[in-house]
Structure 1
Amino acid sequence: MNPCSVWGFVMNSLLVIALLALALSGPATAFVSDGRGVSTHVSITRTALLQKVTETCRAVAEKNGYEFNPTGSSPEELVQACLGPTATGDVSGAKFHSALQDIYTQNGLVDRDFANSPPHHFNSEAFLKGRGLITQGMLAIKANIRNKKFPTARETLGRVLHTLQDFYSHSNWVELGYTEPYINLITPGLPLDNLADMNTATCSDCASGTCPNQLLPNILKEKILTSGYMGIDSSFKPKGKCSHGGAADLTSTESPRGGISKDRQGNNLALHNAAVNAATAATLQLLEDVRLAVGDDDFLRMMGIARSSVLCFVIDTTGSMSDDIEEARSIIYEIIDSYKGTQDEPSEYILVPFNDPDFGPIIRTTDDNKIKEEISKLNADGGGDAPEMCLSGLQLALTGAPSSSYIYVFTDAIAKDIELKDSIMALIRSTQSKVSFFITEIFGRRRRSLRAASFGDYREIALVSGGQAIQVSKSELPQATDIILDTSTSALVTVLQRARNPGKQETFSFVLDESLKNITIYITGTAITFTLTDPAGVTQSQNEIIGKLGTIKAVGNLWRIRLYSDKQTGPWQININSNQPYTLQITGQSTITFIYNFVESFAGPHPGYAVLTGLPQAGQPATLMLSVMGRRGPSSMTTEHIGLAKVSGSEGVSNGVITDMGNGDILVTVDAVPEGEFVVTVKGTDKVSNSVFQRQSTTQVSVSKVKIQAVVGSSVEPGEDFKLPFSVMTQGSGGTYSIGVRNDRNFPMSFLNELTLTTGQYANATLTITPPASTESGTDVTLTVEAKSSDGVDSNYVVLRLSVVTKITDFVQPSCEGVSVQANDCPHDLAQCGPFQWELSANITDGNGTGIESISLHQGNGTLIYTSLSAPIIQANYNASCCSQIVEIVAVDKVGNVGKCYHSIARSGGPPTLTLSLPLWIYLLVSTFLLRP
């Protein structure tokens, strides 16, 4: 049986169960619980994340004066309750689900990408290096969150949690009798004590390989810390050392045989459960440290809990764009003023201006007044007759905005930087963001200056993303921007999207369910006629502006049909006739939605599934992982059909084989993958209304015979070279393949521009990137690596994120010195506490000189005031009602070290009279006022 890392993690709970099913029918490929339940990295991480998110939501609700009372246990209901009064309408749990999946995925990839690295698993007594990975990762997580780089923070968090959790299964921590987590692992200022040295024997021999306790008596008595040696390629281990254990561990056959891993329940259920409990508690400790360092709001945003989508504008600021800028400004103001305080209020605003030859900087803020100020500064100036850096600005937006964002581009010129088109396509597919273009007078004087680019490029980019390419005159632009109001809402879903080039007459069928609201149909194209038919046979054509089914607006190449709110549920049809290219898209608002990833299996000592970062492989079945969400969680719906459908060309759906794993998780295998671009379609039944629902993904995907492998294993320091090995393989024709690498920071890079590939064999190369020494700590870099055949027919890509983090030597938490506590007036009887007050005074200092970043209340309903944060000693004063008997003050320094000052006036004896001026660790002896790391 192979020694899966801590709990034989596969990619998520869905795949855990899938692999369990395989294990029961053949050779074991994952953790098996002997029929008594299963504990995996995912289940431990999920338990801790949901508990910490719940705690944070409750604290935010209490702070803002509303009740946190989820109606159920599903993520959808948790998000609805967490957002409080602003979540008065439909709020989707999709972003929360996606954030959880991001963390689970990266957690599991440690088993694939670092299977033979002892520090990543705390194998082979690699304690100091393992703690170093945790330290480095926590610094990167905090820095990324401070810079609003939430996707990068989630990726690092998943990897760090895997290593932390492995400590409790792979070391002898629980055998030594410890039940609480080893706090020193996440507190680098504290030493790792009593580690076994290379010459210390730790285990006795176990002929059967399954002895309940192999640790030598002196190891247990002296509480010496050790971990099992793991050999994937070699059976060597130092004399007398414990092994990890299991069939994949070659050292387990060398004396002392056996192993001390607690990955599976096996023959010692108590030790396994103790390791699970300790790992869960340790995960909670790390999450709490991150939460305190970054604050509740950003912690929840990192977890994907926000009101609505990010609103992102990419705006051409050349001299001819005055009217367009004014319209963009007007629509932003309208959204801010009409959505403020509702569930549709954007969770963040992003603005990227571009000109020629300049683009950027990216401006992002959660403050609506700030975005008004920034867009008011935009002026149309310069640019001449040349096309602009449109795709460079769009690249900044795609790498700066979170996944599944809505990005709106305003321009009146073709793209000068058309060479970025492939990178833009890769980023769109990686982030699943939707891009719509508002193009005014593109066929004017500037079009002739670059023949290689055209309006068709914008149309292709929009179609791949599931967006629109809207072409209007400048005077018509104000009538076209309703689409921004339509899409900048919460819980937006796509029911159907199709494109035809060349155009033809065709009837498209779709299903509307009871949960759908604000249903809108968009048609882009020219010389179009259409007829819409509802389930009762009632029709409306393009000539009926106000008809029986809805209202119609036509502007430029866009038709917008908004259905009435009392629309009939069931099967609808729309017949479209045009001999010109056109697109059809049907959207609405609903909490019934799904998220998905294409995945592939991987082998090794800890096999599992990994999310594809590029296109699925041609000539092979496609495997997808989906999570389907409903109004009351996954139990409120059934899913009957999942397939892959072509958006362009002939109609047709490749049906998938569905394996329902429970909790809304579904594993899908599609044998016949469509040629060309396709999307994912889902159909099922909403049990709440007993109506059939239909949903479709927006981002188009295709297949490739090329495959690229690359792994980012660590952060990089400013001014230092970072070498990234990568490999390229093709199942198609061998030969010369061009290699293209881009990064969104324009950092210097070096790499081979070409690789010669032999069919079925990987060719290896190395990319070197050097962030300038002036790069701010916490900056993330998005790398896009592409490989393309010489004839341009086949290509693939990977998108990677790299964190730039300054080397930190300050690991000392801020410290407190208690000055005084005045609580003499507080009565013993809490029923009489109302009129009485108590006070606390303390001095807060930064232990190692980087400076205090923030001071805040973590517990307590009183008032906290403090002197300047720039002072060497910060005087903090807290005043509260005697009814509020606990206070916890959190101080965070500029590198993210967290210190906590805690005091309670609760007592069973006489009134407190302490007015001491002592270091808090001494004060602990005579009071409950203490400093906790």
Structure 2
Amino acid sequence: MAAVLVTLLVLCLSGPSEAFVSDGGGASTHVSITRTALLQKVTDTCRAVVEASGHEFKPTGHSPEELVRACLGPTATGEVSGAKFHSALREIYVQNGLVDRDFVNIAPHHFNSERFMEGRSLIMEGMASIKANVGKENFQAARETLGRVLHTLQDFYSHSNWVELGNREPYINLIRPDLPLENLADVDTATCSDCSIGTCPNTILPNIIKEKKLTSGYMGISSNAKPKGKCSHGGAADLTTSTIPRGGISKDERRSDNIALHTAAVNTSTAASLQLLEDIRLAAGDKDFLRMIGIARSSVLCFVIDTTLSMKEDIDEAKAVVNGIIDVKKGTQDEPSEYILVPFNDPEFGPMVRTTDPDIMKSEISKLRAKGGGDLPEMCLSGLQLALTGAPPSSQIYVFTDATAKDIALKDTIDALIRSTKSTVSYFMTQPGSRRRRSIGAASFNDYKDLALASGGQVIEVAKNQLPQATEVILDTSTSALVTVLQRARNPGKQETFPFMLDESLKNITIYITGTSITFTLTNPAGVSQSHSEASGNLGTIQTVGNLRRIRLNADMQTGTWQININSNQPYTLKVTGQSIITFIYDFVEAFGGPHPGYAVISGRPQAGQPVNLLLSVIARKGPSSMTVGEVGLVTVSGPESVSNGKTTDMGNGDILLTIDKVPEGEFVVMLKGTDKESNSLFQRQSTTSMSVSKVNIQVIVDSSVEPGETLSLPFSVITQGSGGEYQVNARNDKKLAMTYPPSLSLKTGQYSNATLTMKPPADTLSGTDITLTIEVKSSSGADSNYAVLRISVVQKITDFTPPLCQMVSVLADDCPADVSQCSPFQWELSANITDGNGTGIVKILKRQGDGSLSYSSLSAPIVQANYNASCCSQIVEFVAVDEVGNVGKCYHSIVRSGGPPALTVSMSLWLCLLISAFMSALH
């Protein structure tokens, strides 16, 4: 029954499968194949993790949200948000689709034109990069590469004649570089017959079928030329289709003439995707595999702390906050999934400490000491840059400082990183006392306010002795399911009434107001009010500390439309938050054409002067079927409020495409309203990160990783629809690598200007290092600007393709009775030697099956001795060895008897796969 439920779960989540196209609406097989494989592998991994902890894996339904809850929920209480999981899946799907835009005419990325060796090289390079990135916990870079690699792998089954040759299982050699690609048709071998009508059931020549020759269709985007007698890809975009032999062998689309072949290609590419994911899972381990796919509690605790002499009290308070959160939230769903610490001083900043172990975080923050700093501003933005590039997207980042930024030149870069990562930055600014301060250039505390406002964060200004009360905000926001209901800012201040809607799913609702000389009145749907002067009233409790008013609503709050009237002639901000699993994720996207059209995520600001598109996913309690979307639009945060509603298009699987013709002027956020069917209540949610449009556009593509010590050349193009002239170019990376690029470009309206950026990671850069590069372009007046944020992986060239080898030494199972019901008093044991042929070294050995105990000798020894002991009731053992570069070897042994005397079977696989055909040897 469990297997049946899981199969139903995956089928319900997978969506339709009709065409190998990008995520452009309707049926999208590249997306649905990837979704099916990912959700199946996540389900398998979650089950293994949950059952290993002694619990039963029991998803309550078929939605991704319920899968996350079943995976994380058994050992903790509280709300579980599926936002990270949805975001991770979205990143993979988007990168998968971008292969059809960025590499549309590059044959190896699609296994077109018989480019099999090059296509496999792309897969192998990608897998090496993924494993290296996961090893360095650079999960976003790993996801982006995974999406591209899966696209290329999936295209093999649609674009080649693999299924026409009768194969219904994946070609394991594509992910096994130690195995050759065999029986490839050479360039002079004719492979197809002519199809005058363009769509024939199977045009592969009989001798090619008989000889099992592997070929693929030639694709011509700009030319109809192809070698004589060769198959075409086919379709309207392929110009070679009209060159004899006409037609095409692509199984991208389901047509009446190729239903069986298309279905076989879909099924086989799904199985191949599962093989690749399983290999990555084994190399990464279950915990890090799930973190890569976004199965983690949403809360990340990230501190950026000024360690200069005047900050002693602040550092002590930060230590108390960290220790308090770790102790209070341990064992709940609000326990942070990750801890990040970045100290900064002058002129030093960093290093960044990143860990999942709360005890390590306690230890590291306890080492902070206030020292030095002189009388100058500090390297605050440099420390924040490390946090923004190291923390997962959508993180809450808390900065402690009492000084302005010495490195104010980084402000535009920080602004770009905030908008790109959608992370929220809040500042705790304390009075510096007698310490002298002087600004550098235009640096001031207003710079922090600008960045906090762009991120949806707050600037909390308090005296040092008030800091313990102010940091309660961190406890509020360190939650697995934090949502924003409303956020507004007014500068200059004025009297205004702000309505907002509270629904039944919201818990721990808190209202924050920052500013001075403020009065306010809060009113619930029944008309009951509470003013700023009532510290404890009918609606909640009010705490005032420094410039912050923190209003915590009572637990029995009434649902419906509330309002708060604020009066002040000074600048102020308003934010309403709560805890709920009902939320949404979004990306600004642009459409692209070509043979397989779709939508690409915009790295920078959307284009001004044209409709803006957003791709949204609404996350409800039991998936998209448990809610109804109402209004979706863009809302200004500051100044006179302006709302631009748009047209929504259902893209399937809970995704919505929002098209807005008229975009508000200035900074705006996304506002969504809908109905929760579970409680039949209206809900309201808002994004936190502000965005604006730009007439400048930057086009840049990272098509591969870079080797340590090698130069990376990165072409990019810039265009403006505004006034032409000189535009400043600035590029920065978080590893402080030297770069060359033109400091300015002369732009003409509507014409691209091309340039190239180069960088060279040092030869000793560790494999798996992730470089975050920001390119900014600004008009000479500073009135218009845009940015692009890119991730570049540094990966050492892989020369070791040989998996670890397993050799069985002995099996002692003679005492195990033939009658399994009598097994409990008896034990069996196994001994094996594990070696790594190419010498990069075995780094870990993991048990995959079996209830017994596995032990092994030192991993640094040339031969690792593994020993396994188990009850005779546990009759199968499987363990894997992973070497330094991620090659996986497997040992498998079964003492299961089948209708006769005991049969000892030991199978060893050089590479883990899903099929028994992948096992390399068997010992009897």
- TM-score of Structure 1 vs Structure 2, range by shorter chain: over 0.9
* Alignment partner of 1:744 out of 731, 734, 755: 734
Match of 1:231 among 220, 223, 227: 220
Change (3 A) 1:11 1:527: farther
Q: For 2:384 and 2:75, how far apart are their aligned partners in 1?
A: 31
Cα shift at 1:630: 1.0
1:166 to 144, 155, 170: 155
SS state of the match for residue 620, structure 1?
coil
Describe the shift of the 1:664–1:429 C-alpha distance in structure 2 as closer, same or farther (beyond 3 A): same
Output one character per residue of 1:4-27: Cα deviation in whole Å (capped at 9) or x when no partner. xx9755553xx322xxxxxxxxxx
- Counterpart of 2:328 (choices 313, 338, 362) is 338
Say how many residue pairs are matched.
900
Say which is worse superposed, 840-849 or 446-455, in terms of deviation. 446-455
Partner of 2:35: 46
The residue that corresponds to 1:493 in the other structure is 483
Q: C-alpha displacement at 1:838, in angstroms? A: 1.4
- In structure 1, the partner of 2:844 is 854
Q: Could you tell me the TM-score, scaled by structure 1's length? A: 0.95
8 A Cα contact 2:20 2:253, kept in partner: no
Q: Choose which of 102, 127, 131 in structure 1 pairs with 2:120.
A: 131
- Distance in 2 (CA, whole Å) between partners of 1:443 and 1:704 is 42
- 8 Å contact from structure 2 (residues 76, 331) kept in 1: no
| 2:811 matched residue in structure 1 | 821
| 1:660 CA displacement | 2.9
Aligned mates of 1:616, 1:10 — CA distance in 2: 24
Deviation (angstroms), 1:198: 1.2
Residue matched to 1:797? 787
Identify if the C-alpha distance between structure 1 residues 598 and 768 changes in structure 2 by more than 3 Å, giving closer, same or farther.
same
Root mean square deviation of aligned Cα: 1.7
Instruction: Specify the code of the residue in structure 2 equivalent to 1:385.
Output: D
**Pairing 1:189–2:178 present:** yes
What is the letter of the counterpart of residue 224 of structure 1? K
- Per the TM alignment, residue 912 of structure 1 is displaced from its structure 2 partner at its CA by 3.1
Question: Residue in 2 aligned with 1:407?
Answer: 397
Q: Distance in 1 between matches of 2:368 and 2:70?
A: 38
Residue in 1 aligned with 2:14? none
Q: Secondary structure at the match of 1:448?
A: coil
- Residue matched to 1:465: 455
Per-residue deviation, residues 740-797 of structure 1 (Å, max 9, x unmatched): 1110001111000111111111111110011000100000100101111111000001
Going from structure 1 to structure 2, the CA distance change for 1:575 and 1:914 (only over 3 Å counts) comes to: closer
Q: 2:568 maps to what in 1?
A: 578
CA shift for structure 1 position 830? 2.1
Taking a change above 3 Å as real, the CA distance of residues 229 and 443 of structure 1, as seen in their structure-2 partners, is farther
CA distance in 2, matches of 1:371, 1:700: 31
Match of 1:230, as an amino acid?
A: M
Cα deviation, residue 663, structure 1:
3.3
**Per-residue CA shift, 1:428-458, capped at 9, x if unaligned?**
1110000000011158644324251111110
- The 3 A distance-change label for structure 1 pair 470 and 174 is same
Cα deviation code 1:152-191 (max 9, x no counterpart): 0000000000000000000011111111100110111111
* Partner Cα distance (1:920, 1:40) in 2: 31
Consecutive unaligned residues of structure 1, counting only runs of 5 or more, are 1-5, 18-37, 922-926
Assess, with a 3 A threshold, how the Cα gap between structure 1 residues 63 and 919 changes in structure 2: closer, same or farther: closer
Determine which of 610, 621, 630 is the counterpart of 2:611.
Answer: 621
Cα distance in 2, alignment partners of residues 829 and 915 from structure 1: 19
Offset at residue 604 of structure 1 (A): 1.8
Q: Which amino acid letter does the alignment assign opposite residue 281 of structure 2?
A: R
Change (3 A) 1:714 1:661: closer
CA distance in 2, matches of 1:175, 1:662: 31
How far off is 1:108 after superposition? 0.2
Partner of 1:895: 885
Please report the TM-score for the alignment, with normalisation by the length of structure 2. Answer: 0.96
Is the 8 Å Cα contact of residues 105 and 158 (structure 1) preserved in structure 2? Answer: yes
C-alpha contact (below 8 Å) 1:466/1:700 kept by paired residues: yes
Evaluate the alpha carbon distance shift between residue 613 and residue 207 of structure 1 in structure 2; reply closer, same or farther with a 3 A threshold. same
C-alpha displacement of 1:252: 1.3
* Aligned pairs for 1:523-534 within 5 A: 523-534=513-524
Counterpart CA distance in 2 for 1:464 and 1:452 is 19
- Which residue pairs with 1:34 in the alignment? none
In the alignment, the residues of structure 1 paired with residue 530 and residue 601 of structure 2 have an alpha-carbon distance, to the nearest angstrom, of 44
Match of 2:438, SS state, is: helix
Q: Is the 8 A contact 2:889 2:909 kept in 1?
A: no
1:292 paired to 2:282: yes
- Which string of whole-angstrom CA distances, capped at 9 and with x for unpartnered residues, describes residues 284-325 of structure 1? 000000000010000000111112321110011111111111
Distance 1:460 1:780 in 2: 28
**Bigger shift: 662-671 or 467-476?**
662-671
Structure-2 residue corresponding to 1:200? 189
Which one-letter code corresponds to 1:113 in the other structure?
Answer: D
- The aligned runs of 1:502-651 (5 Å cut-off) are 502-651=492-641
Question: How far is the alpha carbon of 1:919 from its aligned partner?
Answer: 8.3
Go from structure 1 to structure 2 and tell me whether the alpha carbon gap of 1:466 and 1:442 turns closer, same or farther (over 3 Å shift). Answer: farther
Tell whether 2:146 aligns with 1:157.
Answer: yes
- For 2:208 and 2:159, how far apart are their aligned partners in 1? 15
| The one of 700, 719, 727 aligned to 2:709 | 719
The question of 1:217 aligning with 2:226 is answered no
| Aligned residue number for residue 24 of structure 1 | none
* 1:795 partner amino acid: S
- Give the drift of 1:566: 0.1
- Equivalent residue of 1:16, what SS? coil
Residue 398, structure 1, aligned to residue 407, structure 2: no
Structure 2 residue 188 is matched with structure 1 residue 179: no
Q: Sequence identity of aligned pairs in percent?
A: 72
Question: What is the CA–CA distance in structure 1 between the aligned matches of 2:759 and 2:19, rounded to whole Å?
Answer: 34
CA distance in 2, matches of 1:353, 1:157: 33
- Where structure 2 has 5 or more consecutive residues not aligned to the other structure, the ranges are 1-16, 911-915
Q: 1:619 and 1:9, CA in 2 relative to 1: closer, same or farther beyond 3 A?
A: farther
| Residue 886 (structure 1) shift | 1.2
* Pair 1:767–1:932, CA change in 2 (3 A): farther
* Distance in 2 between residues matched to 1:132 and 1:556, nearest whole Å: 59
| Cα distance between partner residues in 1 of 2:904 and 2:509 | 66
Is 1:683 aligned with 2:673? yes
In structure 2, the residue matched to 1:924 is: none
1:377 to 349, 367, 370: 367
Query: Are residues 1:72 and 2:61 paired?
Result: yes
Per-residue deviation, residues 360-411 of structure 1 (Å, max 9, x unmatched) = 1111001111111111111111110010000000000000001000100001
Are 1:822 and 1:913, in contact at CA under 8 Å, matched by a contact in 2? no
- Measured against aligned partners, the alpha-carbon deviations of 1:804-826 in whole angstroms (never above 9, x if no partner) come to 00011000000000111112222
| CA 383–883 in structure 1, closer or farther in 2 if over 3 Å, else same | same
Q: How far does the alpha carbon of each residue in 1:32-52 deviate from its partner, in whole angstroms, 9 at most, with x for none?
A: xxxxxx451000000000000
Structure 1 Cα separation of the partners of residues 499 and 700 of structure 2: 42
The counterpart of 1:702, out of the listed 679, 692, 697, is: 692
What's the counterpart of residue 263 of structure 2? 273
Match for 1:187: what amino acid? R
Residue of structure 1 in register with 2:774 after alignment: 784
Write the mapping of 1:860-879 to structure 2, written as runs, cut at 5 A.
860-879=850-869
8 Å contact 1:385–1:446 — kept in the other structure?
yes
Note the C-alpha offset of 1:920: 8.0
State the distance in 2 between where 1:634 and 1:932 align.
47
**Per the alignment, in what secondary structure is the counterpart of residue 858 of structure 1?**
strand
8 Å CA contact 1:683–1:695 kept in 2: the answer is yes
- Aligned-partner residue type, residue 765 of structure 2: T
1:142 corresponds, among 131, 142, 149, to 131
Tell me, in whole angstroms, the C-alpha distance in 2 between the residues paired with 1:662 and 1:189: 40
* C-alpha separation in 1, matches of 2:198 and 2:48: 49
